[in-house]
Amino acid sequence: MTAQHDVRGDVAVLIPAAGAGVRLGAGIPKALCLLAGESLLVHAVRRVVAAPSVGFVVVAAPPDHPDAIGELAGPVKVVAGGPTRQASVAAALAAVPDRFGIILIHDAARALAPTALVESVAAAVRAGADAVIPVLPVVDTIKAVNAFGQVVGTVDRAVLRAVQTPQGFRREVLAAAHAAALDEYTDDAGMVEKLGVPVHTVPGDAAALKITRPVDLLIAEALLARTLASVGWRVCSGPASPGWPVTPTVTWPRTPPATRCSPPPAWATWARTTAPTSPSGPVRPGWHCSPRPHAGSGRPGSRSGTCRSR
């Protein structure tokens, strides 16, 4: 555990990651689908463990393939998930040490939910709320329809909110909700509502979109590219050498129009240089960059390259 996790560290986060992801159509658990060369789960965990409040994370992995998760950075424990999301959350909750009284539940599919949102939910629970969910106003017109597809009314969207994660709870409230649940829920706040416990809200974040369909993945890639570009990084995609990722991968700024993608190792996706045009120029302190040939061309001296920490 690093110093940033010790600032408060009174929060445990549960991440159910055993879902099949049928609607995404990738043929693998949704949490393991790639976004910019890394799994949705890796992106989600990275943002969660960066929150000063978070002292422990439990990932509920696919029960048949718990090792598929791989190594995750930070104070993370991996347990076998269950056949449903609810069962996976229960398994993850059972693995949390007793010292953590605030529990957040986060979907790996909301891989870009910012660290600030984690802190906002945790702070609301710490301030006295038993249950807290992040929400956004509904912007679309909502119609109620009958079994024949006919409109029977227009719903007042002023009172509607779209719910996101992480959702936060006092541990004893969440445990009681799971113990009392007779039906299956996809939303933990729904179980708490059944107990008659008030559920409070905090403002959500557009970046915390749920990646469920292929189009959601494209939107997430665009959001990530914009975020990286704001700090001088770039996401590239397109032709790659055999064994290199075909999904977008982070590379350094101002890549020429011909696509050049970084190789798979994790350090490559975190490479960053402040040089305006060349990876051999000034770099971030503690990092070293060396040229790499154009992907698939074999030409030395191209402005593509690799960066790694010393």
State CA 42 to chain mean position distance.
Answer: 7
On whether both 270 and 195 belong to a single domain, the answer is no
Does position 262 have pLDDT exceeding 60, yes or no? Answer: no
On whether both 150 and 267 belong to a single domain, the answer is no
The answer to whether position 220 is within a domain reads no
95 band by pLDDT with thresholds 50, 70 and 90: very high
The predicted model gives 64-72 an average pLDDT of 77
Residue 37, number of CB atoms within 10 A of its CB = 24
pLDDT tens digits, residue range 177-198? Answer: 999 988 888 789 999 999 999 9
Distance CA 232, CA 227 (A): 9
- 272 closest CA partner among 295, 257, 288: 288
On whether both 120 and 260 belong to a single domain, the answer is no
On whether both 64 and 7 belong to a single domain, the answer is yes
Distance CA 220, CA 158 (A): 27
The answer to whether position 217 is within a domain reads no
Distance CA 187, CA 269 (A): 33
285 band by pLDDT with thresholds 50, 70 and 90: very low
- Give the model's pLDDT for residue 107: 95
On whether both 47 and 132 belong to a single domain, the answer is yes
- Give the model's pLDDT for residue 185: 84
Query: Residue written as tokens 């048949």?
Result: 64
The answer to whether position 213 is within a domain reads no
Read off the pTM. Answer: 0.72
On whether both 19 and 159 belong to a single domain, the answer is yes
The answer to whether position 7 is within a domain reads yes
For residues 69 and 228, the model is more confident at 69
On whether both 258 and 122 belong to a single domain, the answer is no
196 CB-near residues (< 8 Å, 6+ apart):
none
On whether both 148 and 261 belong to a single domain, the answer is no
- Total domains in the chain come to 2
- 65 closest CA partner among 16, 28, 34: 28
> 156's torsion region: left (phi>0), alpha (psi -120 to 50) or beta?
beta
On whether both 192 and 271 belong to a single domain, the answer is no
The answer to whether position 216 is within a domain reads no
The whole domain housing 289 covers 231-309
On whether both 108 and 62 belong to a single domain, the answer is yes
On whether both 154 and 241 belong to a single domain, the answer is no
pLDDT tens digits, residue range 193-250? Answer: 999 999 999 999 999 999 988 889 899 988 888 776 555 544 444 443 333 333 334 4
